[in-house]
Structure 1
Amino acid sequence: MDLKELIRDIPDFPKPGIVFRDITTLLNDSKGFQYTINLLTDECRKSSLSPDYVIGMESRGFIFGAPLAYQLNSGFIPVRKPGKLPRPVYKVQYDLEYGVDTLEIHQDALQSFHNVVIVDDLLATGGTAEATVELLKKIGCNVLGFAFIIELEALKGREKLPNVPIISLVKY
Structure 2
Amino acid sequence: MDLAALIRTIPDFPKPGIQFRDVTTLLLDPHGFGQTVARLSAQAPAGIDLVAGIEARGFVFASAIARELGRGLLLIRKDGKLPGATVGVDYALEYGTDRIEMHADACVPGQRVWLIDDLIATGGTASAAVRLIREAGGVVAGAGFVIDLSDLGGAARLLNDGVPVATLVAFAGY
Q: 1:166 aligns to what?
A: 165
Distance 1:101 1:34 in 2: 32
Q: Are residue 156 (structure 1) and residue 162 (structure 2) matched?
A: no
Q: Are residue 60 (structure 1) and residue 57 (structure 2) matched?
A: yes
Q: Is 1:50–1:72's contact at 8 Å kept on the other side of the alignment?
A: no
Q: Is 1:90–1:138's contact at 8 Å kept on the other side of the alignment?
A: no
Distance 1:125 1:119 in 2: 15
Q: 1:21 aligns to what?
A: 21
Q: 1:83 aligns to what?
A: 80
Q: 1:105 aligns to what?
A: 102
Q: What TM-score, normalized by structure 2, do the two folds share? A: 0.93
Give CA-to-partner distance per residue, 1:22-77, whole Å, 9 cap, x none. Answer: 11100011111111101111122xxx433100010111110000110111111001
Q: Aligned to 2:132, what secondary structure does the other structure show?
A: helix
Distance 1:61 1:151 in 2: 14
Q: Percent identity?
A: 48
Paired residues, number: 169
Q: Is 1:49–1:117's contact at 8 Å kept on the other side of the alignment?
A: no
Q: Aligned to 2:43, what secondary structure does the other structure show?
A: helix
| Deviation >3 Å, runs of 4+ | none
Q: Is 1:49–1:145's contact at 8 Å kept on the other side of the alignment?
A: no
Q: 2:9 aligns to what?
A: 9
Root-mean-square deviation (CA, aligned residues, Å) is: 1.1
Deviation for aligned residue 1:159: 2.9
In structure 1, stretches of 5+ residues that fail to align are none
Q: Aligned to 1:147, what secondary structure does the other structure show?
A: strand
Distance 1:86 1:13 in 2: 32
Give CA-to-partner distance per residue, 1:100-129, whole Å, 9 cap, x none. Answer: 211001111111010000000000000011
1:51 to 37, 48, 72: 48
Give CA-to-partner distance per residue, 1:5-35, whole Å, 9 cap, x none. Answer: 0000111111111111011100011111111
1:137 to 134, 137, 157: 134
Q: Aligned to 1:112, what secondary structure does the other structure show?
A: coil
For 1:160, give the aligned amino acid: R
Deviation for aligned residue 1:165: 2.1
Deviation for aligned residue 1:160: 2.4
Q: Aligned to 1:80, what secondary structure does the other structure show?
A: strand
